[in-house]
Structures are given as structure tokens and as C-alpha cells.
Amino acid sequence: MLNKIMMTGRITTDLNVVSDDNYSYCKFDIEVDQPKHNYTETVETDTFTCLAFDDNAKSVNFLYSKGGQITFVSSLRNAPDKTAVIIVEELHLQNRFTVKVDVDSGQLF
């Protein structure tokens, strides 16, 4: 069975990576616009809770901030309270980052 979702939305919470003995994670919320209908002037939004683990968590925390737009591929999982949680699997960068290399040290910054 297929369990894949691609989402683009704005981050509505402050980002923070939490580390445990076995893994690290970043929990955040995003707001996603609903499709606009011809008969309405306003756009409604849906809010989703997302979890990114390990390298994805570090990348989300490093590359994004509250209010920023994020695009990712994810899957749905059941949470203990019978709601769904979105697990981030792939981040999709939107060509807004420039990577520079210090030629002498080979370090990226």
C-alpha cells in the first residue's frame, strides 16, 4: 500500500531539535492553504503536526524558521491519542540556498 504525502506550507511553531539516546527529532506545525473556491474571497488553512527525525530534524532546524515555507514528502502515522502525525521523509529545497566552499579548508558555509 502507498502512504505518501507531499505538502507545502508555512511553519507556525519555533523549531527545536530534541535529542534522545537513540535518535533526535524536531516537532513542528505547518499551515497549508485549502483550495480557493470561486464563491469565496478568503482562503482557509489547515494545520498539521509534523515530525522530522535525525538528519531531517537537523536540516529542518538549520534551514528553516517560524514563518518560513517548507516543502516535503511524508507519510501518515497514528499518534497515541488516535490522531494522525505526519512523518517527514524527504525535504525539497526551493533553490533559495547558496553553498560556498572555502577553497583552502574545503569547508562548506
Using DSSP, state whether 15 is helix, strand or coil: coil
The letter for the amino acid at 27 is: K
Q: Taking all residues of the chain, what is their mean pLDDT, rounded to a whole number?
A: 85
Q: Are 59 and 39 in contact (CB under 8 A)?
A: no
The helix/strand/coil state of 78 is strand
What are the pLDDT digits (tens) for 48-79?
999 999 999 999 998 899 999 999 999 999 88
According to the model, what pLDDT value does residue 95 have?
60
The C-alpha cell that represents 57 in the structure block: 530534524
pLDDT higher for 77 or 103?
77
35 contacts: CB under 8 Å, gap ≥ 6? none
CA distance 71 to 5: 11
**Higher-pLDDT residue of 41, 58:** 58
Stated pTM of the model: 0.77
- pLDDT on residue 96: 58
Q: Check whether 5 has a pLDDT greater than 60.
A: yes
33: CB partners within 8 A, 6+ apart: 9, 43, 44, 45
Domains of the chain plus CATH, in order, are 5-91 (2.40.50.140)
